[in-house]
Structure 1
Amino acid sequence: MPRLYGVRLAGSAGRVLAAAVALACSANALDAAPIIPPDVLAPHRAIYDLSLLESRDRSGVKQASGRLVYEFTRTGCHSFTLNYRQVLSVAGGDEGKGGVIDFRSSTVEDDEAKTFSFTSTSQVAGGPATKMGGLAERLTDGSIRVTIQDPAPREVSLPASVLFPTQHLRRILAAARNDDFSLQADVYDGGEPGDAASPSLTMIGAVQQPGETNPDALTAPAGLDKLPRWPISVSYFDQKPSTEGEQTPKFIFAAEVYENGISRALRLDYGTFVVAGKLVGLEKLAADDCPVKH
């Protein structure tokens, strides 16, 4: 698949947010794991300005800038829709290597994590666009059947232990509330090539209570100054671990995440370089008047 300075375009943000060891549990254990109710998550549109934070040795990256738009909306009273767009311009040294990385995706996930539909388009440095699309369905035994439509029709089977992205976020926030400091999970987000979930390891820092330092001017009008937040880092690994030494994450997403799912102070680590995401736009979106779920 296309790359630029080691950036692998795959999946939605969110990945935003596993483990060097895959999560092994039965469907019953998965159902029993702590998870926050869906109505806790706030429908919102967040805009982040992206800038180069760190360029590692021999990466060749001299400049990086762009924008990320994250729109998370309630679909009726039964599911969430995530529309995500990231455009990142990367430039190198004297050789002039560089280009624009353009990734967009749209996903719909129901509250019970029984269905997850996904479409995405990625383009690197003006090259041909790469498309992914399909539907993941959780069967009666808990296992998952993925029907991929783009780029070519095929089916994939995944174990019951696999989480979908919003389900994963709800588990992370439940762990944070319970003062747990880590969470392991295999996560499927429909990222290219679409045939496997990504093992992930989430690390959760100490809670930051309302009223503590928060430099974003947008957070108070949105009511975030009244909510606790946690520094959270999610490392994603290749499905097949390396047999030589400690495994290196393929991507790390870090942010301060409020208890309603809104994030600030993003850090996107692509391995060869790191990009910071500053919250510059935030709008809380209306939601249908739905019964509260416990």
Structure 2
Amino acid sequence: MIMPLPRRALRALTISFALVAGTAALASPAVPVDRLVPHIAVYDLSLVEARDRAGIRTINGRLVYEFARRDCRAVLTYRQVMSMRTGEGQGTSLDFRSVTDEADTAQSFDFEANSVVSGTDATEVDGVAKRGNRGLIKVELQKPEQKSADLPAETMFPTEHLRHILGAAETGAFTLQADVFDGGEPGDTSSPSVTFIGPPKAPGSAGGVSLGLELGMDKLRRWPVSISYFDAASTESEQTPKFIFAADLYENGIAGALRLDYGNFVVEGRLVSLKALPAGECKQP
């Protein structure tokens, strides 16, 4: 479960970041896609820390993440709603939604997203990415405008990236570098990323898995994972991430409590609901 998309929607909230470029993808094993369990997870969001001059006093919200399997494809449906208040009592709201559809073979990736800030400032992204000759990726964007872009063959899609992170964790690797394309705003660029993987935690060791007992979560290993995302186009010398996603990542692809670092404020997500979904059929030709 990897969720970088909302970092772009939050640009409308005038968040400033120092950015970095030039992280290349490194080879790593990938776990089989059927290791990932289809599920719906719901997280309650709250403010952990407000840095610099953000002025944010409270954040409340909810994040709903659905991972489904349909016809040999991973379908991710994501919704994040947040309400923010400053010390002067002023409020801002964010409603971000996205749906992505990724082939198990990582040969194609459909994406669409919509973000609304304070009920009026709407941004839409819609397009498709396909691998062609030599694995090169062609992105065809319909919204916010029609245009195309080319991405290197080593670029990963989100579920592909998740499978490589779990594969790296199982081999005892501590880091994974990869350029990731998730279809988020502006819709035609990938983001260099660096994943840091902590030592594995034993099954059942204070993981807060009571919600997932029917999924056998208390019998699974998990790893503390932190993924930093950067801007490939930046020429700044300071290599500061623009978004950091952190969580305990279980070997079935489900994330426990979340920590979402947007640069000048940090939000935590407490898992409040977890439901298994049908596995779906995949008949390879």
TM-score by length of structure 1 reads 0.88
The equivalent position to 2:263 in structure 1, one of 252, 271, 274, is 271
**Distance in 1 between the 2:20 and 2:106 partners?**
21
Aligned to 1:183: 176
Relative to the length of structure 2, the TM-score reads: 0.91
> Conserved in 1, the CA contact under 8 Å of 2:20 and 2:241?
no
Q: What is the 5 A alignment of 1:1-294?
A: 3-4=12-13, 6=15, 21-23=22-24, 33-76=28-71, 78-94=72-88, 96-244=89-237, 246-290=238-282
Measured in 2, the distance between the counterparts of 1:291 and 1:67 equals 35
Instruction: Say if 1:41 and 1:281 are closer, same or farther in 2 by CA, change over 3 A.
Output: same
Secondary structure (helix, strand or coil) at the match of 2:166 reads helix
Please give the alpha-carbon distance, in whole angstroms, between the structure 2 residues aligned to 1:19 and 1:73: 33
8 Å CA contact retained: 2:93, 2:118: yes
Unaligned runs of 5+ in 2: 1-8
Task: Report deviation, 1:98.
Answer: 2.2
- CA shift, 1:7, in A, is 8.0
2: distance between equivalents of 1:142 and 1:81? 22
Deviations 1:16-70 (A, max 9, x none): xx98532157xxxx6xx41111100000000000011111131111000100000
Pairwise CA distance, 1:221: 3.0
Tell me the percent identity: 51
Q: For the structure 1 residues 35 and 69, does the alpha-carbon distance in structure 2 shift closer, same or farther, using more than 3 Å as the test?
A: same
Provide the rounded CA distance (Å) in 2 between the counterparts of 1:214 and 1:71. Answer: 21
Per-residue CA deviations over 1:62-89 (Å, capped at 9, x if unaligned) read 000100000000012x111000000011
Secondary structure class of the residue paired with 1:220: helix
Q: Report the CA distance between 1:216 and its aligned residue.
A: 4.1
Aligned residue type for 2:215: A
* Unmatched tracts of structure 1, length 5 or more: 9-17
- Equivalent pairs counted in the alignment come to 274
Structure 1: how far apart are the matches of 2:32 and 2:249? 16
Q: Given that residues 7 and 270 in structure 1 are in contact (C-alpha distance below 8 angstroms), is that contact kept between their aligned partners in structure 2?
A: no
- RMSD value, Cα: 2.0
In 2: Cα distance, 1:82 partner to 1:285 partner: 12
Judging by fraction of residues, say which structure has more helix.
2
Q: 1:49 to 1:24 in 2, by over 3 A?
A: closer
